[in-house]
Amino acid sequence: MSEMNSKPPIYHEKQVKELCALHALNNLFQTRNTYSKSELDTICSRLSPNVWINPHRSMLGMGNYDINVIMAALQKKGCEAVWFDKRKDPGCLDLSNICGFILNVPSDYKLGFVMLPLRRRHWITIRQIQGNFYNLDSKLEAPQLIGRSSDLIAYLKEQLDSKEKELFVVVSKEVEEKQLWMHQYAIHTSRLPDSPHSENHSQNNCESPQNSLTDGYDYRNRDAECLRLNEVNCVASIENH
């Protein structure tokens, strides 16, 4: 476990092999062994039984789990992950109802000192801990302070300027069902085509989150993974912050 020099203590799992998806899960839950490699491997086998080469992980069995494994693992926790449409402004996010974020970024794969020409995706957890948001990237030596809500929004805007990066909003099942992860004014006005404010909100990219669940993201692509959080953990996190 890594800790910041000042409070609060933060659980920060470091990168091993190609297990960034596993690290992202455990860092998101802030608990060691929330999931284990053997659990994710078991899910791979369940998703594709009786195959010589499992399509949901690395051929060498070192990790690189795909979206199906992550989603299956987190379905047991009763929570949801929502792909964030980059056409929206992150300022539309209602941070009070969001448990955390998973940022999907491209990554080079290195074997020893040799950089291999393999395309890999890296998964980074971002979450709030006692009022501040932190980047819990497993490749970092220590958690990286992002700051308060306004700092996070600016950080997300900067990250999403890259077409190769994707953001997933982690929420409880109830929040996802009621679409509470976005400010309600954005949802309301986007559903009123004759609203005098609809044009303004369109310019601000605050359209309905329903569109983001179906447009622009291929959930079968193994270059993309998303996460869901334990509902109890999510609710507790929101209450504490």
Catalytic residue among 122, 206, 226, 234: 122
Tally of CA atoms within 13 A in the half-sphere of 125 that contains its CB: 30
Task: Confirm whether 20 is a catalytic residue.
Answer: yes
For residues 205 and 217, the answer to whether their CB atoms sit within 8 Å is no
Distance CA 97, CA 95 (A): 5
Task: Confirm whether 122 is a catalytic residue.
Answer: yes
Catalytic residue among 20, 99, 226, 234: 20
- For 181, the token pair is 């992860």
How deeply is 120 buried, as exposed, middle or buried, from its count of CB atoms within 10 A (0-12, 13-18, 19+)?
middle
Q: Which residues are known to be catalytic?
A: 20, 122
